[in-house]
Structure formats: structure tokens, C-alpha cells
Amino acid sequence: MGRQQWGTRAGFILAAVGSAVGLGNIWRFPYVAYENGGGAFLIPYLFALLTAGIPILIMEFTIGHKYRGSAPLSFFRAGGKKAEWLGWWGVFVAFVISTYYAVIIAWAMRYTIFSFDQAWGEDTGSFLQADFLQLTEVAPGETGGIVWGVFIPLVLVWVITLGILLKGVKKGIEIANRIFIPTLVILFLIIVVRAVTLEGAATGLNAFFQPDFDQIMNPAVWVAAYGHIFFSLSIAFAIMITYSSYLPKKSDITNNAFITGFANSGFELLAGIGVFAALGFMATQLSVPVAEVADAGVGLAFVVFPQIINQFPGFNGFFGVLFFLSLTLAGLTSLMSITETYVAGVTEKFGVSRNKAVIIGGGLAATISILFATQGGLFFLDVADYYINQFGVAAVGLVEVIMVVWILRKADTLQSHANLTSDIRLGLWWKICLGVVTPIVLGFMMFGLLKQNILQEFDNDTGNYEGYATEFILYGGVAVAAAALIAGILFSLGKWSKHHA
């Protein structure tokens, strides 16, 4: 059986954009940008996009295209065992993320239904915590009982995702993205157009774009920009390597990477504009400053947005459905891509059929995800998300560029490979971004994070992340992040199935 392939160029681009455009664009970007200097954040953001995001995307597309394997197999072919573990590390980071990412999609699905009659009532915050998540009776680290309101949509999320993966790359993932992504763009455009024409929209947009230039010199802002770009572009997750391994031989790699990168950022900016226009509207309705309603962090989508929907001047249910359906679609196309990374890795390593890998790998992730559908699920989700992002994604990215450029010394090989089929030529700029700029920035970033998290986390003066108990952080966060690395190393020890060696 030959390797699976995308049917068309547009199919690949839609799938790559589908992976990139996710929950991160809609609820994460707006508040990260706002908290980190508003308009001034765009400078570090663009810098991170151009020096790290797109160059790494090009690198991952080229690796997948050249070595034609899942991330572990591609790294194995590029550098043997000393590189293979890195591919598995990315795969396990993706695995962990998929277990809770699915749960947030399940919330969005449930909220789509709540939207019809604004079942969340006036106090949307206590509705989320007490009525929907039933968080009130448990302490961090306890599971409590299963929350059926989350569990049932969660099952649906996995059935849809695994069902699509079972159909394969061309007939499953490609077709799903061909339907979901254009639908998402249309739904989202309707929301944004409505949002910017609401009364008070300009106030919100001013708050969003008004630059706080003092913030540009703050290293934390740069860390936020790099961290967001990695998450948002789905790089350093083994994902883009896997997706590009299904490209036909003659494919313009560099162009595809630019299109994917700019489409993702365009969507993100649009989301920022839509969300802040709506926040401006709400602030105007309540006669409070925008800062007061915007300062909701992760609660933005599930607490503040329902409030905005309550205030809408008409068609409230309709716009609520549009918004949460957008979140659901954006999330599903990303979850497919995350899950595909371990499906591909397991298939190739152990020589099992694709369907078996989907059932075993996806089934395992689905089972673990039930943990986050319990009464204490939100705490687990919070800790896992924080630590896997801090010590998973950025760390894999840092090791990846060092491995490719400095240890395997593949920059030139990859450059000529990409140039063979691409319109835009890679030059010295690409190698400098990958080999020098990105490692320096990420290196500083990791150093700062380690200092802050490991040294201060357990220092009683500053306290733990979110004030959680040290034990809970150790087992729930640090151990999970470490387990992804250890599992990665263990998986690289065995032999490849003879089909792929």
C-alpha cells in the first residue's frame, strides 16, 4: 500500500490552515495581545512570526516533504536514533494537548446549544463554574464525579474526530477541512461585520490597538509573542511535519508556508477586531471602561461572550450559535491534526494498520480526556495546559532548531530541497533566523521560564502557579510535561517495523 496523499494543493493548505486556526485564534490571541501592550504587541508578534514562525513552518514542511514520514520517522531518516526521540517528544506533547483540547471543544459544542435561549442567564460566570462545570464542590487535585453535560459532547467530539481520521487523509481529513474551513470563515465574517457595526465598537477597537509602548521593552511581552506564535501556528508539535509528509512530490513548500502563516495571522487579527468591537459595545452598554470587561483572560469565550450575547440588540440566539459553532469548527480541525501525529507515528513504528492506530491511540486519548470532564476537571486542565505549553512546546521548538541546524547540520540540504520546488527562494536569511535568532530568543525564554517556575514556584514568598498545592503542580503539571519527554525517549528505543526502516 502506497503512502497516503493529499488530493489537491488546496486540500493541503486548507488542512494546514485548519490545524493552525483553532481555539488559540479566537479566544487566546485577543486577550494575549490586549494584556501585552495592545497595539504595541503587534511589533513583537510580527517579529516572532517572521523570524521564528514562518521559518520554522518552512523547515517543518520541508522535513515532512523530504523524508516522507511522521515526525519520528522523518527525524529518524534525517539523523537516526539521536534525532528520532525528538519526533516522539513532539508526538507526546501533542498527545497530552489533545486530551484537554477536546474538552474545550466539548464546552463550545454545549454552549452552541445553550446559545439558542441564552441558557446561561445573567450571571454567566457562576453559570460556567457552578451550573455547567459543577466545580464548586471539589478542591484542586480531586476529580469528583463525572459531569455529564461535558462528558456527552466530549464523546461526540471524539466520535467525529476519530471517524474522520478512520476515513484517511484524502477522504477524511481533506474533505472535512474543505467543508469546515470555508464554513468557519463565512460564520466568522458575519460575526465580525456585525461586531464592528455595533454601537461602541470604536471604543473597543481603540482599547485593542492603542499601543502601550512601555511594554515593548518588557521581555515577558516577547515571551508571550513567541509562545503564542508557536501555539498558534501548530509548530514544534510534530503536526506540520506529519501533514506535509502527505504532500505530492511536486509541491511548492515555501509558498504553502507563507500562505498558511499569513492566513492564520489574518484570522487572528480578525478575531481580535471582532472580539474587541464586541467588548467595546458591551462596555458602552454598561457604561464602564473597556478594561473592566476585557480583563477576563481565559474566561473571555465562556464568560464574557455569553454576556455580550445577552446584550445583543437582536438575533441573540443566532449570533451565539455562530460564535460557539465557529469555536467548535476551529477546534475540531485542529484536534484532527493533533491526533493524526500519533496515529501516523504509531502506524509506522509498529507496523499496525492505520485503523488500529486510530482506535488505540485515539481511544487512549479519549479515555484520558474523561479526567477533564469531571467536577475537578478544570483544575487539571489548567495545570496541564500551563506546564505542557511552557515546557513542552517552546522546549521542543528550541531543541528542534538546534538539532536540525547545529547537530544534524541539515540547513543547506533542506534549503536546496525546498528551493527545488518553490517559487520563493530560501537564502541566508532563513538559516540565520533558524540557527541564530530563534535559538537565542528561545534560549533566553526557556531560561527565564525555568528560573521563574522551578526556582520560584516552590519558594513560599511568591507562591505556586495559581496558588495550587505543590503536590498537585508536581504530579499534575511537571510530571506530565516530563512524562512527554520520557515517553518520547522510550518510544525511540525500539526498532521500526520492517516496512519503514
- Using CB under 6 A, list all residues that contact ligand PHE: 19-20, 22-25, 97, 231-232, 234, 237, 239, 334, 337-338
Minimum distance from CB of 337 to ligand PHE (Å)? 5
Kindly tell me which of 20 and 434 has the beta carbon lying closer to Na ion.
20
Minimum distance from CB of 228 to ligand PHE (Å)? 9
Angle, CA 407 vertex, CA 57 and CA 484 arms, to 5°? 65
Q: Tell me which of ligand PHE, Na ion, none is bound by residue 337, counting a contact when its beta carbon lies within the kind-specific cut-off of 5 to 8 angstroms.
A: ligand PHE
Contacts of 495 (CB under 8 A, 6+ apart): 501
Angle, CA 46 vertex, CA 412 and CA 200 arms, to 5°? 160
Minimum distance from CB of 335 to ligand PHE (Å)? 7
Minimum distance from CB of 265 to Na ion (Å)? 9
Say if CB 394 and CB 230 are below 8 A apart.
Answer: yes
Spatial separation of the C-alpha atoms in residues 275 and 205, rounded to whole Å: 9
Q: Name which of 261, 232, 236, 231 is nearest 397 in CA terms.
A: 236
Beta bridge partner(s), residue 146: 374
Q: Tell me which of Na ion, ligand PHE, none is bound by residue 102, counting a contact when its beta carbon lies within the kind-specific cut-off of 5 to 8 angstroms.
A: none
Cell of 483: 512524562
Kindly tell me which of 19 and 328 has the beta carbon lying closer to ligand PHE.
19
- Identify the residue whose cell numbers are 500551563: 386
Minimum distance from CB of 179 to ligand PHE (Å)? 19
Minimum distance from CB of 20 to Na ion (Å)? 5
Q: Tell me which of Na ion, ligand PHE, none is bound by residue 334, counting a contact when its beta carbon lies within the kind-specific cut-off of 5 to 8 angstroms.
A: ligand PHE
Spatial separation of the C-alpha atoms in residues 25 and 268, rounded to whole Å: 5
Three-state SS across 417-442?
Answer: HHHHHCCCCCCHHHHHHHHHHHHHHH
Minimum distance from CB of 187 to ligand PHE (Å)? 16
Please report which helix (H) or strand (E) contains residue 185, including its range. helix 175-196
**21 in helix, strand or coil?**
coil
Kindly tell me which of 265 and 415 has the beta carbon lying closer to Na ion.
265
Q: Name which of 47, 18, 54, 50 is nearest 418 in CA terms.
A: 54
Minimum distance from CB of 461 to ligand PHE (Å)? 34
Query: Interface residues with Na ion (CB under 5 A)?
Result: 20, 24-25, 232, 264
Kindly tell me which of 262 and 447 has the beta carbon lying closer to Na ion.
262
Kindly tell me which of 124 and 337 has the beta carbon lying closer to ligand PHE.
337
**224 in helix, strand or coil?**
helix
- Identify the residue whose cell numbers are 496515529: 343
Q: Name which of 326, 224, 212, 236 is nearest 275 in CA terms.
A: 326
Q: How many CB atoms lie within 10 A of CB 314?
A: 7
Minimum distance from CB of 423 to Na ion (Å)? 25
Kindly tell me which of 127 and 323 has the beta carbon lying closer to ligand PHE.
323
Kindly tell me which of 36 and 234 has the beta carbon lying closer to ligand PHE.
234
Spatial separation of the C-alpha atoms in residues 493 and 488, rounded to whole Å: 9
Q: Which amino acid is at 144?
A: G
Kindly tell me which of 337 and 453 has the beta carbon lying closer to ligand PHE.
337
Cell of 239: 503536526
Q: Name which of 272, 273, 251, 249 is nearest 260 in CA terms.
A: 251
Kindly tell me which of 34 and 468 has the beta carbon lying closer to ligand PHE.
34
Kindly tell me which of 134 and 232 has the beta carbon lying closer to ligand PHE.
232
Spatial separation of the C-alpha atoms in residues 166 and 21, rounded to whole Å: 22
Minimum distance from CB of 22 to Na ion (Å)? 5
Q: Which amino acid is at 3?
A: R
- Identify the residue whose cell numbers are 523530504: 66
Say if CB 416 and CB 422 are below 8 A apart.
Answer: no
Q: Tell me which of ligand PHE, Na ion, none is bound by residue 177, counting a contact when its beta carbon lies within the kind-specific cut-off of 5 to 8 angstroms.
A: none
